[in-house]
Chains A and B, each alone.
Chain A
Amino acid sequence: AQKVTQAQTEISVVEKEDVTLDCVYETRDTTYYLFWYKQPPSGELVFLIRRNSFDEQNEISGRYSWNFQKSTSSFNFTITASQVVDSAVYFCALSGNNAGGTSYGKLTFGQGTILTVHP
């Protein structure tokens, strides 16, 4: 079974601080995909990034960066110079390409990390 653990339930920072959200996953699939989604107070789920299991290259997009380490089954997300608009719930998620077909495309989500950025 697949499992995603986001150990940090809530994080509170002051604007301009850097913050890292942790994500640890478990899967038996040899090929899998990792995602981060953002859920702002308005409630919708916004896709941020997808990473393939065979590509361990870190990625940076503006103030966002992601660190994928297969050896520790982690896919951490860092926001540099946080802003108030970054306040949201952030979800890490996992999907696989199980040949049995039961896990095609479906996402297993972590419990989410509530990030509050204070001005």
Chain B
Amino acid sequence: DSGVTQTPKHLITATGQRVTLRCSPRSGDLSVYWYQQSLDQGLQFLIQYYNGEERAKGNILERFSAQQFPDLHSELNLSSLELGDSALYFCASSPSGTGGTEAFFGQGTRLTVV
């Protein structure tokens, strides 16, 4: 158990809908990352937050947004969903936001858009 909790584990929704994925980082970790894993794109970095502020952005679509709350949990919001958004979404956390610390991953949320 990595200590990172993601909910829900599975989500099935229709095209055009909006969903929210939730992540609770490991105790003491200030940085949260979101990654998307799909068959065609592999594991792609979406966005990073550190202590409530956005730190870095990857190839995150404009239809996607995220935030980190004062209690350090994070949410990833996906809207106007398309079939191609079906993927495994991972949250990871690390103590600092720097490259030298390992990130621990949650079990992921498997999103299926039908």
Chain B hits for A80, CB < 8 A: none
Give the residues in chain B near A33, CB-CB below 8 Å. Answer: 99-100
Contact residue range for chain B? 20 to 34
In the bound complex, do residue A106 and residue B90 qualify as a contact, i.e. CB atoms below 8 Å apart?
A: no
* Closest-CB distance, A116 to chain B (whole angstroms): 18
Chain B CB within 8 A of A32 CB:
yes
Q: Is B94 an interface residue (CB 8 A)?
A: yes
Query: A105 to B99, Cβ gap below 8 A?
Result: yes
List, in ascending order, chain B residues with CB within 8 A of A109's CB. Answer: 42-44
Residues of chain B contacted by A106 (CB below 8 angstroms):
33, 45, 48, 56, 58, 99
Question: Given A97-B98, A97-B99, are A105 and B56 also a contact pair (CB < 8 Å)?
Answer: yes
**CA of A111 to CA of B97 in the docked complex: distance in angstroms?**
24
Interface residues on A, range: 20 to 34
Interface residues of B in 96-114 (CB under 8 A from A): 96-108, 110
Q: Give CA–CA (A47, B99) in the complex, Å.
A: 14
CB interface residues, B 33-69, toward A, < 8 Å: 33, 35, 42-45, 48, 50, 55-58
Query: With contacts A50-B102, A96-B99 known, is A105 near B33, CB below 8 A?
Result: yes
Determine if A82 is an interface residue (Cβ-Cβ < 8 Å). Answer: no
| Chain B residues in 8 Å Cβ range of A32 | 99
Verify if A45 is at the interface (C-beta below 8 Å from B): yes
- Residue A52, interface by CB 8 Å: yes
On chain A, the residues within 8 Å of B42 by CB distance are: 109-112
B31 at the interface (CB under 8 A from A): yes
The interface of chain A, by Cβ under 8 A from chain B, is: 31-33, 35, 37, 42-47, 50, 52, 91, 95-97, 101-112
